[in-house]
Amino acid sequence: MIKTLTETEIGRIAADAVTELAQRAVNGAPIYSYIDTCPLAWNALEEGGWDSIGASEADGGGDATLRDLVEVGKAWGTACIPLPLMETIWAKRWSVAARAVGGPVSLSVQRARQGDQSSLAPFGSLAGVGIARSIGGDDSFERGPVGLAEPFAPSLCASILHYSTEMSGEAAYELAVIWAAEAVGAAQTLVDLSVQYAKDREQFGRPIGSFQAIKHRLADMHSDAEYAETSVIWASMEREQAERATLYALDTSIRVAESAIQVHGGMGLTWEVGLHFYLRAILTQRELVTGLWAGIRS
Amino acid sequence: MSGSQATFVKDAQDWLADAVPDRWRKERGALSEEETVEIRMEWDRQLHRGGFAGLSIPSDFGGRGLGLREEVIFHELAAQAHAPEGLGRIGKILTVPTLIAHGSEEQRARFIPAIMEGSQIWCQGFSEPGAGSDLASVSTFARKVDGGYLVKGQKIWTSFAQYADRSILVAKTSMTEPRYKNLSYFLLDMKQPGITFRTIKQLAGSSHFAEVFLDDAFVADEDRVDVEGAGWKVAMTTLTAERGGIEAITRYVEIRGDVDILTGCCIKGSGREADAAELDTRIELVRWQVMKALDFEDNPEELFKRTCMLKVMWSDLWQDVTSLALTHTCAAHEAHWRNQYLETRAATIYSGSNEIQRNIIGDRVLRLPR
């Protein structure tokens, strides 16, 4: 049936708040300048209660639905700030101990690669983050930094561990949706950055966005970012379709990131312009989500 | 789903189950052209009697005064029930919204009731051999005479030309005014001696369009919409009337059917199951994209941001489906896929080529420089 797909009020409020906090913290600075020295204090997120909006009201949370967390994930993914906000929201939704322990929390996922028993923990190399041994059981946390740093995606501060966090299939499903939503937020930012660049950058005496070769690529990027968003919303509303829908959202977001680099030409290749930080984050999120689904199936 | 929506769905399903002619549902391929036309003309009258004509047209103008959401719901249910497509659709989706926005009281009173009842068929005289994507460069000329105009020129890609009573028509009315100010918009009587047509046989063997030749066809002053020279402005209303979601949901049902044949039969054992599965994901996303867009029904700009890509989305997808299917077809489905493969070549060209659709996204949504 033709359904309504909108989020509830708490999702809208939290997404707006997170966007504003991130924007104020970043204050227009280029991404490479804040990726190593986080511009936002964890306290600011905790004081607003934004880290516990996913818990029930009885547990002091905001009763956000998974559909709401898609909006928050998108908003947070837009900024690429190196803090485990979404992981903490998810952990506090599922774990009594995570709600009690305070401070940022993250987790570890078994990688879905042949001949590889290692696990990947986003924010595992960040000091003060509690990496969960399990979520939804008799949970305990190991204070970071833990394991061997995995620096591929600087905004995710990941590390490689020899254990993965135990969790239920339902919890893993929700986490897959949340990470895919972050990737979609990054893709939307990349569309905005590329459109702005194509308006500003001139060659042959005209803005390059006036050329159909660029314009059509940007139109496809806009469309892809829309499908990626729709796909992750679908995943949040239909559990049984969520594996293919989250992976489609991630693959499509990666395609957007590749196009963003192409539209930026030589600038897109530079470390400082920093489009690669988004691409690296999305690629890592795909690896994590793939690992989650492999875990759910086994 | 709200209670009123559930009632609407139930009513529509009950009505469709009863109204769709058995002959159409079961032996559509075996019907003669005369029978096909008769069923499609009668379908418009059935829609009116059943209260399902013009669901989203305001009740002041004889519609039901419901929203885009109900229109989309009904089109999906109708496609699922294998309902015919009425011959009156150009009148309902193009003429009526244009007359509501720009027509005179007298024009609305004269044409809208007949269109809603299904007693008047319309066609669209916009494209010309020399004016396809570049509509503003039409060269059909309407020369001013006493009481009206004499129209000379040629139109092309006209659906329903052979059945139409009237045509919306864009023609030049000035040789001196600049581009975009030299056009006028007319409601042309198609049943007159100055008009002949020839159907165009397409590459798949069927004929969905015609060429229309206008040799001093007469159109009266009272059949001009708005003032002389306002033709471009009026035509833009016609072309930007929001129908992306309605068209997409109809296509969704058709493509869904094709993907079911592919995944349920032809692709099995081919080694390309994963490719077919991705097509399945993409067709479901067409539907979810429409649903997402409908939540922005009351905000035209936000709505368009979410519907502007639908045509590119389903037409590219449909071609991908038929290409994969043609390569891996079983013997029983070969004729189907050959025909679908050839027919879907048109999908990325008609109702605004995909290249023009991408320009529209770039210009209107992303606001890129021209």
Q: Indicate if B155 and B172 belong to the same structural domain.
A: yes
Mutate to test the interface with A, among B1, B5, B291, B299 (most CBs of A within 10 A): B291
Beta carbons within 10 angstroms of residue A77's beta carbon:
28
Element (H, E) at B214: strand B209-220
Assess if residue B201 is contained within a domain.
yes
Residue ranges per structural domain of chain A = 170-297
Assess if residue B27 is contained within a domain.
yes
Mutate to test the interface with B, among A206, A211, A223 (most CBs of B within 10 A): A223
Q: In sequence order, which residues have a C-beta less than 8 Å from that of residue A36 and are 6 or more positions away?
A: A154
Find how far residue B112's CA is from the centre of its chain. Answer: 18
State whether residue A154 is helix, strand or coil: helix
Give the model's pLDDT for residue B1.
Answer: 57
Q: Indicate if B211 and B286 belong to the same structural domain.
A: no
Give the model's pLDDT for residue A37.
Answer: 86
Q: Which of B42, B242, B297, B343 is catalytic?
A: B242
Tokens for B88? 């009156």
Q: What angle, 0 to 180 degrees and rounded to 10, lies between the N-to-C axes of helices B3-19 and B33-50?
A: 150
Contact status, residue A73 vs residue A228, Cβ threshold 8 Å:
no
Assess if residue B45 is contained within a domain.
yes
Distance from CA of B370 to the nearest CA of A (A): 5
Q: Indicate if B129 and B222 belong to the same structural domain.
A: yes
Beta carbons within 10 angstroms of residue A241's beta carbon:
16
Of A158, A181, A177, A186, residue with least CA distance to A258: A186
- B291 interaction partners in chain A (CB closer than 8 Å): 2-5
Contact status, residue A190 vs residue A256, Cβ threshold 8 Å:
yes
Class of the CATH-defined domain A170-297: mainly alpha
The phi, psi pair for B166, rounded to 5°, reads -140, 160
- A212 interaction partners in chain B (CB closer than 8 Å): 355, 358-359
Question: In the β-sheet with A158-161, what is the strand arrangement from edge to edge?
Answer: A109-110, A119-121, A158-161, A148-150
Of B323, B297, B269, residue with least CA distance to B70: B297
How many beta-carbon contacts under 8 Å exist across A and B?
Answer: 99
Q: Is the Cβ pair B1, A1 closer than 8 Å? A: yes
Of B202, B217, B235, the last residue of a domain is B235
CA distance A86 to A94: 13
Regions of chain B with pLDDT less than 50: none
Q: Report angle CA B291, B295, B296 to the nearest 5 degrees.
A: 120
Give the model's pLDDT for residue B237.
Answer: 85
Give the model's pLDDT for residue B242.
Answer: 64
Assess if residue B97 is contained within a domain.
no
User: Does residue B123 belong to the interface with chain A, where contact is any CB pair within 8 Å?
Assistant: no
Of B116, B124, B199, residue with least CA distance to B162: B199
B38 tagged catalytic: no
Distances B176 to B146, B149, B172, B183 between C-alpha atoms, Å: 21, 17, 10, 11
CA distance B116 to A72: 46
Give the model's pLDDT for residue B27.
Answer: 85
The phi, psi pair for A119, rounded to 5°, reads -120, 155
Assess if residue B105 is contained within a domain.
no
Of B227, B214, B157, residue with least CA distance to B188: B214
Q: Indicate if B178 and B227 belong to the same structural domain.
A: yes
Residue with tokens 């590749």: A258
Q: In sequence order, which residues have a C-beta less than 8 Å from that of residue B332 and are 6 or more positions away?
A: B265
Give the model's pLDDT for residue B7.
Answer: 94
Contact status, residue B340 vs residue B319, Cβ threshold 8 Å:
no
Q: Indicate if B228 and B253 belong to the same structural domain.
A: no
Distance from CA of A201 to the nearest CA of B (A): 11
Tokens for A284? 């890592």
Q: Indicate if B313 and B338 belong to the same structural domain.
A: yes
pLDDT along chain A (298 residues), means of 10: 92 97 93 90 95 95 97 96 97 96 95 91 97 95 95 97 97 98 98 98 98 98 98 98 98 98 97 97 98 94
Q: Work out whether strand B122-125 and strand A206-207 pair parallel, antiparallel, or are unpaired.
A: unpaired
Q: Indicate if B157 and B57 belong to the same structural domain.
A: no
Q: Quickly list H helices, A80-202.
A: 85-94, 96-101, 169-200
State whether residue A145 is helix, strand or coil: coil
Into how many domains does chain B fold?
Answer: 3
Q: Indicate if B217 and B287 belong to the same structural domain.
A: no
Residue count of chain B: 370
- A206 interaction partners in chain B (CB closer than 8 Å): 369
Rounded to two decimals, the pTM is 0.94
- B277 interaction partners in chain A (CB closer than 8 Å): 244
Assess if residue B110 is contained within a domain.
no
Contact status, residue A163 vs residue A293, Cβ threshold 8 Å:
no
CA distance B163 to A184: 48
Q: Indicate if B339 and B360 belong to the same structural domain.
A: yes
CA distance A210 to A220: 15
CA distance B34 to B23: 13
User: Does residue B191 belong to the interface with chain A, where contact is any CB pair within 8 Å?
Assistant: no
Q: Indicate if B172 and B267 belong to the same structural domain.
A: no
Question: Which string of DSSP letters, residue by residue, matches B268-295?
Answer: TTSS-HHHHHHHHHHHHHHHHHHHHHHT
The phi, psi pair for A186, rounded to 5°, reads -65, -40
Write out pLDDT tens, residues B6-20: 999 999 999 999 999
User: Does residue B27 belong to the interface with chain A, where contact is any CB pair within 8 Å?
Assistant: no
Q: Indicate if B67 and B141 belong to the same structural domain.
A: no
Q: Indicate if B162 and B259 belong to the same structural domain.
A: no
CA distance B98 to B241: 8
Of A47, A28, A48, residue with least CA distance to A39: A28
Q: Is the Cβ pair A230, B309 closer than 8 Å? A: no
Q: Considering CB atoms only, which of A215, A234, A248 is closest to B368? A: A215
Residues of chain A whose beta carbon is less than 8 angstroms from a beta carbon of chain B are 1-6, 195, 198-199, 206-207, 209-210, 212, 215-216, 218-220, 222-223, 226-227, 229-231, 233-234, 241, 244-245, 248
Write out pLDDT tens, residues A43-64: 999 999 999 999 999 999 999 9
CA distance B176 to A273: 51
The phi, psi pair for A232, rounded to 5°, reads -75, -30
Give the residue numbers spanning the domain of B267.
242-365
- B361 interaction partners in chain A (CB closer than 8 Å): 219, 222-223
Mutate to test the interface with B, among A195, A215, A244 (most CBs of B within 10 A): A215
Of A111, A78, A247, A94, residue with least CA distance to A176: A247
Of B205, B235, B265, the last residue of a domain is B235
Q: Is the Cβ pair A218, B362 closer than 8 Å? A: yes
Count Cα atoms within 13 angstroms, Cβ side, for B73.
Answer: 24
Q: Report angle CA A79, A81, A86 to the nearest 5 degrees.
A: 90
Of A180, A143, A157, residue with least CA distance to A35: A157
Assess if residue B46 is contained within a domain.
yes
